[in-house]
C-alpha cells in the first residue's frame, strides 16, 4: 500500500492480481485506488485525475452522511438496530450478557458497570455475529442457486471497513454490522458477493449479473450508502 498526493487529493494504492483499476471512497473517507500489480504509477495518476470531480463529490457526500453518526452510551431507552428495526435498550440483572425479547434488548447491568462501553460493545458484537452466522448463511444458501454459483464457507466477523468479501476460493465473509440492516439490504450484500464468483471486479458484466437476480439493486445499494454510517456501535 502506498500513500500518494495528486494535487489536492490524497489517496492510497492497493495492488493485487486484479485485471483492472478502480477508485473507491471507503467508509472512513479514505480514497483507495485498487490496481493491478504491474500498472505504472503514471497510469494511476491519470485514473485519479480522470475521477477528480467524482472523488470530490463523493467525499463531500461522505462528510454530510457522517455528520450525524450516533455516539452510543448504552443507557436505558437507547435504540439499537437489528435487521432494520430499532429496539430500545434496558439494563437488567440477568445471567446472559445480551438478549432480545418482547421487543427490547436486555443488557446485563453488571457487565456495563464493570466493563463500561467497551464491554457493552463486545456483547452486541457477539450477538450480531452469532445471529448473523445463522441468518446470513441461510440467505447465502437461498440466493446461491438463483445466482447460479456454489460458494465455499460463509462466515460473519469484523471486516473493518468492508461490508463483505469474497475470497479466491469462493469463501464469503460478512461484517456483523450487516445484521443491523433490513433483510432486503442484507440480501443485496449477499447477492453482491455471490456475483463476485462470476466476476471478481465491479465491471459492467458484474452488475449485469446482480441485475439479473435483483433488478432493484440500485435502490438497495443507495440505501446502504445513505444509511451505512448509522449502522455502528
Residue 25 near residue 55, CB atoms below 8 Å = yes
Say if pTM beats, i.e. exceeds, 0.85.
no
CATH architecture for the domain at 79-230 = 2-Layer Sandwich (3.30)
196: left (phi over 0), alpha (psi -120 to 50) or beta: alpha
Task: For the chain, 233 residues long, give each residue's pLDDT as a single digit of tens.
Answer: 555 555 678 888 988 888 888 888 887 788 889 888 888 888 898 888 888 888 888 887 777 666 666 778 899 999 999 999 999 999 999 999 999 999 999 999 999 999 999 999 999 999 999 999 999 999 999 999 999 999 999 999 998 878 999 998 999 999 999 999 999 999 999 999 999 999 988 889 999 999 999 999 999 999 998 888 888 88
199 to each of 103, 149, 232, how far by Cα in Å?
41, 11, 30
Q: Which position has the grid cell 490524497? A: 10
pLDDT for residue 69: 65
Please report, in angstroms and rounded to a whole number, the separation of the first and last CA atoms in the chain. 28
The domain limits of the chain are 2-66, 79-230
Question: What angle (nearest 5°) sits at the alpha carbon of residue 136, between those of residues 29 and 167?
Answer: 60
Residue 181 near residue 83, CB atoms below 8 Å = yes
Amino acid at each position: 500500500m502506498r500513500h500518494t498526493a495528486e494535487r489536492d487529493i490524497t489517496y492510497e494504492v492497493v495492488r493485487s492480481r486484479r485485471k483492472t483499476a478502480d477508485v473507491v471512497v471507503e467508509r472512513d473517507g479514505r480514497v483507495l485506488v485498487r490496481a493491478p500489480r504491474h500498472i505504472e504509477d503514471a497510469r494511476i495518476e491519470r485514473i485519479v485525475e480522470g475521477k477528480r470531480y467524482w472523488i470530490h463529490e463523493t467525499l463531500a457526500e461522505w462528510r454530510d452522511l457522517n455528520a450525524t453518526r450516533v455516539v452510543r452510551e448504552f443507557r436505558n431507552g437507547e435504540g439499537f438496530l437489528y435487521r432494520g428495526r430499532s429496539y430500545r435498550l434496558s439494563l437488567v440483572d440477568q445471567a446472559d450478557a445480551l438478549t432480545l425479547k418482547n421487543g427490547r434488548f436486555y443488557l446485563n447491568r453488571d457487565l456495563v458497570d464493570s466493563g463500561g462501553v467497551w464491554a457493552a460493545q463486545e456483547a452486541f458484537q457477539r450477538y450480531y455475529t452469532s445471529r448473523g452466522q445463522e441468518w446470513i448463511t441461510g440467505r447465502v444458501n437461498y440466493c446461491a442457486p438463483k445466482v447460479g454459483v456454489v460458494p465455499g464457507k460463509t462466515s460473519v466477523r469484523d471486516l473493518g471497513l468492508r461490508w463483505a468479501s469474497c475470497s479466491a476460493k469462493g469463501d464469503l465473509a460478512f461484517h456483523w454490522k450487516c445484521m443491523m440492516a433490513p433483510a432486503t439490504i442484507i440480501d443485496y450484500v449477499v447477492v453482491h458477493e455471490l456475483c463476485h464468483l462470476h466476476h471478481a471486479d465491479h465491471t459492467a458484466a458484474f452488475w449485469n449479473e446482480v441485475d439479473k437476480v435483483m433488478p432493484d439493486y440500485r435502490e438497495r445499494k443507495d440505501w446502504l450508502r445513505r444509511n451505512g454510517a448509522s449502522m455502528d456501535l
